[in-house]
Structure 1
Amino acid sequence: MKMLDKRTAGDLTKLLIFIVVTTLATGILVVTIGNITFGGSKEYKAEFVDATGVVKGDDIRIAGVKVGVVKNVEIVDRTRAMVTFTVQDETPLSKATHAAIRYRNLVGQRYISLDNQIGDTATLGEGDTIPVSQTSPALDLTVLFNGFKPLFQALSPEDINKLSYEIVQVFQGEGGTLEGLLAHTASVTGTLADRDQLIGSLVDNLNEVLDHIGDRDDQLSELITTFRTFVAGLKGDRQAILGSLDQISQLSVQTADLVSGIRDPFVEDVKQLNALAGNLDRGKGELDRALQVLPIKLNKVGRTAAYGSWFNFYLCEFHAKVRLTAGQSIPVDYKTGSSRCDLG
């Protein structure tokens, strides 16, 4: 039992040592990465004409090193922005200190860069304000990149990212140099030069299209005028068109009722028509002979009615039987001898 207790106590000691070491290492890592200091700090203010994008917690940097954080951003005089920030005690500011809002990255995050310029070297008191004349707002990327939009349309996303980063760095006065910007611009123009033939072909085709359009200027103007008149007519007749659509809808409903009413008789007619077709198929020989003889018969009938809108009938022969009262019958055969009978 005592051996078990000693073993448990040893494991517990190792666990506690591991937890302490891990906690210390994690704390050191957090302090190093977050540039966290445990010294005192002083609070200052800076007035900007535009502090768009600056929020509480953004960095305050000198020469790229974090020395403080933004505490608050508020509006003053309805036209200016007052930024309250803190810096470390060992980082005194002078009355010549210049504050500028910089882009931390292309996502839009900001930080405030402090720079001690030539001028009054008197120390800035805690709580004092850097005047608006010694502050600079962030670069307006929207206006800047809109000017480069025609160029960006011919670039790949990777080239755009590189060039954009160089432009921001150069115009903010840090990091990249004008030489680097020109190098990337030369790369871009080289890419455009490689596509010179394609661009030239595109321009030629566009000129040809514009020439054809120019040759048909009158027809195009007439088409536009006619189309505008057509649209105006549709607008004027929209009530009539909508009314006709309502009538068409009602007609469709009534037609549907009509079809549903005659459905059963129609199906029966189709069945009888099928039977009729079968009968005609079985007697197609007789029907064929009748159709062949029909013209001859119609010709004779036509000659009979050739003298007017009536028919002349002639009695050529007469055959009958006369039945007597005694049950006997006497046959009667009579021929008229008319000359018309010889025409048949």
Structure 2
Amino acid sequence: MTGRPGLAPAVQLFVFCLLGVLCTVLVINTLRVPVGFGARGYSAEFDDVGGLGPGSEVTVAGVRVGRVLGVDREIRAGGEVTAVVHFEVEQDNPVTAGARASVRYGDMLGIRYLSLDPTPGGAPAVRGAVDMPEGSRIPLEDTTGPVDLTALVNGFKPLFDSVRPEEVNALSHTVVAAFQGEPGAMDTLLSRLALLSRDVLDREDVYTRLADNVEALGDTLTGREGDLRRLVRGLDEVSGALADGGGRDLALLIDRGGASSAALAAMLEETDRDLRTSVDAARHTTDGWVPRTDEFESTLGRVPGFAREVNALTRKGGFLSLYMCNFTVSWDGMQANPFGHQNSEVCR
């Protein structure tokens, strides 16, 4: 007796599909953290759950005993927002009355789980002397939110910058574990910091120079405290003036700043040689004036008297006319004409 043609392939396909469905169900049950039938339901209040969601694990001393069903938002009497986490545990692991709860990080990728912790008196979190009634809620004062991982890691950023890249991940995980209060994590953190301090000690000269520079900078700023105060007040006044009128003055300054800078650059480029010559001549002139400042000041002091005498002579008639044909300052073989070489028409 022979079977129907094509029946064997159909049976094989059916068996293959059945195995695929069973594997899928097994994977889903693993991911959904099943707790079996007759689970006990509870809830807990938190200020912040940090991304804890349905399906997250509920653990006791690192052992999975349940799962999170969901998270709701409630507004308290004072207007504060509270996160209420609903979870269930296995029938054989009832939560002990007075047990605490905390949200912790499962890894550095941000996976979180709910941890049931012993009571303040030291009783175990589950299967203690007195069970918490089903449906009860752990109050806010008995819960601990997650560590702000971003702020924590940023606080250790200078240390992370000074160590080798392969040690950063291990150190980060140890820091998070230590601040979450996991047993033995603080000892591990201290030992790692001790090892990493060897690398820091190798750079002692860098930190010494940095400290010296900071100290010198502090001394300089302290000595110029008055100048810094005036600078800050001046900047405040300038910024306030520019901000008046909706910032139109500032916008106009920015728009015209480019053109003004370009015009100034062109002017300096064209007059650079003459400007340098004038500066050099003025420098030689002042070099001769400075040693004889007293004589120069005495001469200038007699100029008003000389002018009064001239005015007295010319007050009643044009008996005397004075013209300055040129003004040349000569000193030690050097000459300078502050008013140029052009003479007045009378002197031509």
Q: Could you say which residue in structure 2 is the equivalent of 1:137?
A: 145
1:192, CA displacement in angstroms? 0.9
Q: TM-score when scaled to structure 2?
A: 0.55
2:37 pairs with 1:39:
yes
1:68 counterpart letter in structure 2:
R
Distance in 1 separating the partners of 2:140 and 2:223:
60
2:104 counterpart residue number: 102
Largest Rg, 1 or 2: 1
Equivalent AA in structure 2 for residue 23 of structure 1 = V
Deviation string, structure 1 residues 109-157 (Cα, Å, up to 9, x no partner): 3221113434572222111112333322223335544543443343345
- CA–CA distance in 1 between the matches of 2:46 and 2:229? 57
Indicate the RMSD between aligned Cα atoms, in angstroms. Answer: 4.2
- TM-superposed CA distance for 1:227, in Å, is 8.4
Alignment correspondent of 2:172? 164
Q: Match for residue 55 of structure 1?
A: 53
Alpha-carbon distance in 1 for matches of 2:165, 2:68: 34
**Partner residue of 1:191 out of 194, 199, 222:** 199
Within the candidate set 18, 21, 28, 2:19 is matched to 21
**1:74 aligns to what?**
73
Q: CA deviation at 1:158?
A: 3.9
Q: Does 1:87 align with 2:85?
A: no
Divergent runs of 4+, >4 A: 201-211, 213-242
Equivalent residue for 1:155, pick from 163, 166, 174: 163
What TM-score results when the alignment is normalised by the length of structure 1?
0.56
Native 8 Å contact 1:76 1:82 kept in 2: no
Once the two structures are TM-superposed, the CA of residue 229 in structure 1 deviates from its matched residue by 10
- The aligned residue for residue 180 of structure 1 is 188
- Distance change (3 Å), C-alpha of 1:209 and 1:20: same
Q: Structure 2 counterpart of 1:152, which letter?
A: F
29-38 or 43-52, larger mean C-alpha shift: 29-38
Given that residues 31 and 37 in structure 1 are in contact (C-alpha distance below 8 angstroms), is that contact kept between their aligned partners in structure 2? no
Say whether the 8 Å CA contact 1:103–1:109 is kept in structure 2: yes
SS in 2 for 1:180: helix
Q: Which residue number corresponds to residue 342 of structure 1? A: none
Alignment check: 8 A CA contact 2:65 2:93 kept: no
Distance across 1 between alignment mates of 2:75 and 2:251: 61
Cα displacement string for residues 16-55 of structure 1 (whole angstroms, at most 9, x for unaligned residues) = 2222223323433443454334423222121234434333
Q: Is the 8 A contact 1:43 1:126 kept in 2?
A: yes
Equivalent position amino acid for 2:84 in 1:
M
- Partner of 2:194, secondary structure, is helix
Residues 229 and 143 (structure 1 numbering): CA distance in 2 closer, same or farther, change over 3 Å?
closer
Tell me what 2:131 maps to: 123
In structure 1, how many angstroms separate the alpha carbons of the residues matched to 2:141 and 2:86? 17
* Separation in structure 1 between the aligned mates of residue 109 and residue 234 of structure 2, nearest angstrom: 47
Counterpart amino acid of residue 13 in structure 2 = L
Distance in 2, matches of 1:116 and 1:239, equals 64
CA contact (8 A) 1:100 1:112 kept: yes
Secondary structure of the corresponding residue to residue 84 of structure 1: strand
Instruction: Give 1:86's aligned amino acid.
Output: E
SS at match of 1:197: helix
Q: Would the alpha carbon gap of residues 240 and 152 (structure 1) be closer, same or farther in structure 2, given more than 3 Å must change?
A: closer
Determine if contact 1:169/1:176 at 8 Å carries over to the other structure. no
Report the secondary structure of 1:121's partner residue: coil
Letter in 2 for 1:28: L
Give the counterpart of 1:111 among 107, 113, 136: 113
Kept in 2, the 8 Å contact 1:45–1:127? The answer is: yes
| 1:71 aligned counterpart, secondary structure | strand
Which digits, 9 at most, give the CA deviation of each residue in 1:44-72, with x for residues without a partner? 12123443433333322223214122323
> Which segments of 5 or more consecutive residues in structure 1 lack a partner in the other structure?
249-344
Q: Distance in 2 between matches of 1:81 and 1:17?
A: 47
Q: What residue number does 1:337 align with?
A: none
For 1:240 and 1:147, the matched residues in 2 are separated by 40
- Equivalent residues of 1:49, 1:132 under 8 A apart: yes
In the alignment, structure 2 segments of 5+ residues that lack a partner are: 260-348
